Chains A and B, each alone.
Chain A
Amino acid sequence: MFPELGQIALILALLLAVLLSVVPLVGSLTGREQLQAFARPLASGMFVFIAMAFGLLVHAFLTDDFSVAYVANNSNSLLPWFYKFSAVWGGHEGSLLLWILLLSAWTLAVAIFSRRLPAVMISQVLSVMGMICVGFLLFIILTSNPFDRLLPNIPADGADLNPLLQDIGLIMHPPMLYMGYVGFSVAFAFAIAALINGRLDAAWARWSRPWTTVAWAFLSVGIALGSWWAYYELGWGGWWFWDPVENASLLPWLAGTALMHSLAVTEKRGVFKTWTVLLAIIAFSLSLLGTFMVRSGVLTSVHAFASDPERGTFLLMLLAVTVIASLTLYAFRAPVVHVRSRYGSLGREIFLLLNNVLLVSATLLVGIGTLYPLVLDYLDMGKLSIGEPFFNTTFTPLAIATGLLLGAGIFSRWKKTDGGWLGRKLLWPLAISVIVTTAVVIGYGGFKPWAFAGIFTAVWVAVATFWDLSDKSRSRKGRLNGLKRQSRSYWGMVLGHLGLAMTIAGVTVVSNYGIERDVRMSPGDVATVGDYQFAFRAMGQRQGQNYTSQYGTFDVMKGGERIAVLHPEKREYSVGMRIMTEADIDAGLSRDIFVAIGEHIADGAWAIRLQYKPLIRWLWLGAVVMAIGGFFAISDRRYRIRDRAEETAATGTSPGKPLKGNAEAVS
């Protein structure tokens, strides 16, 4: 009976979502406050019913209710309970329900945390969120019902969760990623509401900023988790494949990063409005596009869910309605700006504009690379994949340019920066960065142009960030006091940029100085990779809860000393007979040592993959630091006490603050 209740809960949620998307909006357009007042209760009610449906699906998994088709296809009674739990989002239907749960949670959060917003605005924002919910609830109820039953022939046991997904990384990755994807719906809803009532002003930008930042922080962590998982679980040590689905998550991230920066300009200076609102629409549209690409089967990918034309068509219609409606609204309502450039040469506005140009170029580039094969196929010019070389050669220069610009932009001032002053300011950071980079490159054993460029970019960003921090925290009452006086949003920017520097450093070093060797080894053999020796001691067998495993024992030695014992495995899962390679990794901040077993070749000899991965952890830690920065930024006081400042914010200056303090966070 529980699954039927779940279905009823979804239908009730749909009814509430329909009401939410109509009633408050009508109220706001006709000026009837009693209708606007429905927005918050409807948002709460919708969340409650969706949460109930989700809870009932979780219950079905934990109690092994194999009469539910989705449970039977994605779980098994042998699974440990936490994998049964995470199996809820291990397939299309359940992960879609998670998507909707998070969407309704964001809607609820907007309802709760925007008490200070004008009622008209909030009712329109919640209505737009309600419309998105209607679309996805219809999608799940009509095409992807997770509560469908297998009656009367109930399977004795489930088909098991794909072993690739039986992993901590996969418990965390989808919820984080979806938090990011779905989070951009809030910035989108604010943009639509602002377009409807023509209030594209600094206050709108200020309301949108924290929501965008949180979504972006979640998305950063989600992408990093996915990359980390691919690294240790897919078994060959790659951490980014430019796979269409990875790209699908990178696209909204790039657009979201551009949006965060552009919102800063719109809030502080009241310019770029037309552009910012377009970015808000694009960031969410790209999230939807990502969802579409994963679930429609139009692209080949390790992530793709079973392709189903019906679902693909439905999602595309949803995407089309959202994008066409919002862009049409945009085309008619966005302000046509005729400002004479109020931002003089080298003002911070210019730097952020260039930042946006670069980020949007990167978005376009990744988008084209991802969709180009589809376009070719459409034109009947054959199927092909655009490989890593395309992305690596085109994306890298853009990333480097963005970093170099960032280092200079940190020192710039709003409106106008004196060129000579900026040049002198940059001299020392430049000198330090060159020296540090040279030392690092030599330390890693050789000059390579791209390695130098990448490491220089990372060091440059970090040095400039610290330099600026040291400038700002200079205080008569001592350094510590000066540091304390910095606003949270400034700290957010510092962490965001340092995180980026870490990620760039990690990516550059591991790509240029990492070593991987594929060797044939029998027990007793020793192979050398860089400074490390790998001694293959033996193969053994063991029994896991739902698999049997053959595992190797490797001693890793450096300079004659044993530094680690690694046990890479090949697992055979008892249900479905799937074979999985489990690499073993000796992880460290400065390097990872990675061993994976491939095929059994003959006579006890195995194909073995040995890898030395310097600084690889930094690329994920960088994302975590960026996300922490995001949370710092939104905890800034000015988002709480701000009613007073609301009107004055539109003019771009806050009263009673010295100019220096005003140079707070741009990220």
Chain B
Amino acid sequence: MLNIIFYFQVHQPYRLKHFNVLDIAQGSDMFDDQLNGQVMRKVSQKCYLPTNKLLLELIKKHEGRFKISYSITGTAIEQFKRYSPETLDSFKALVDTGCVEIIGETYYHSLSFLYDSNEFLDQVMMHRDLMKQEFGYDTVSFRNTELIYQDRLSDLVFEIEGFKTILTEGVDRILQWRSPLYAYKNYTKDINLLLKYYQLSDDIAFRFSNRDWPEYPLTVDKFVNWIDHLTLSEHKGRNQFLNLFMDYETFGEHQWAESGIFDFMAHFPTEILKRENLGFAHPKDTSDLANYQQESISFPDAVSWADEQRDLSAWLENDMQHNAIETLYEMFNRIKSKGDPKLLKTARLLSTSDHFYYMCAKYFQDGDVHKYFSPYDSPDQAYIYYINALAALEERL
């Protein structure tokens, strides 16, 4: 049996204003409420609302056999409430079907794991509480910001009662001869690892509407046949996991409705469920489904799902990114000891990884992706506004 784990990342950051040195004096708000509201309303209209509606229909139609999973960041939930409450309601309706797993992560979609373990644990607990509060859901699976993973992450996550499984990227340099189609254990064998099958995930997420791609157009038949072929490697009745992980904004935002992405999704589960050897599962089912001795796998260096390198270079490569993030984390303890919740909240909103992503100065293909997502003219601008924001925060200490 091959179990498809469809997991979607739902995230929106609080983008900074074009925040200048002179703005520091005003004590004014540093986040661009207008832009953030605009983006949230736009993405809700183009992606969240129509996709949620479609998936809800599919879940009902397939009577429990179609399963999907989400991680929804705290910054996204907050902004749903402010700018698009109907979107939050539609997620709640999905969770109520019982066919949706909610996955844990850091509340602020931050890189705190790499810089401040205490802050990381705080943010994970905040997110867990939020999921309980909003959806009545107890999270048991975890994925770190942008699938960033390294051995030490499993140690930290293991400290938190209840997490059994972590999702990350199926990076070739780590897997080597191994297949991402099996469930693994972390290096201490305490936690399950599910690894993204990036070829097929990216066929949907990145290549779906690319007319230069030899496989264009991607039809449901073609895609299901590829998946079916994967089961040829199955032996001794071992259950396989096909981990299709992607940004939720793939649907209707990165791949426009005109590309046919919604039609594709409308028919995909039906075709999968016609075949006896294919099905859908949740990450929380991993232990039950893994009917074999799971091999442990070690990630000595950090990986992620970003860019071609699948490492940390999207956020932490150039000097601007390093100076910015180090400045932030050096301030965290001082901010915490000050005991002003408003300042701490601001610092945490500034910990969202997107701020560092905007400062990425890599060119070629990846640079284009960064540019697409950035609200600023250049990485330098993003850096200037961010450093000014940190200066403003420090002045308020």
Bound pair: A and B?
no
A residues within 8 Å of B by Cβ?
none
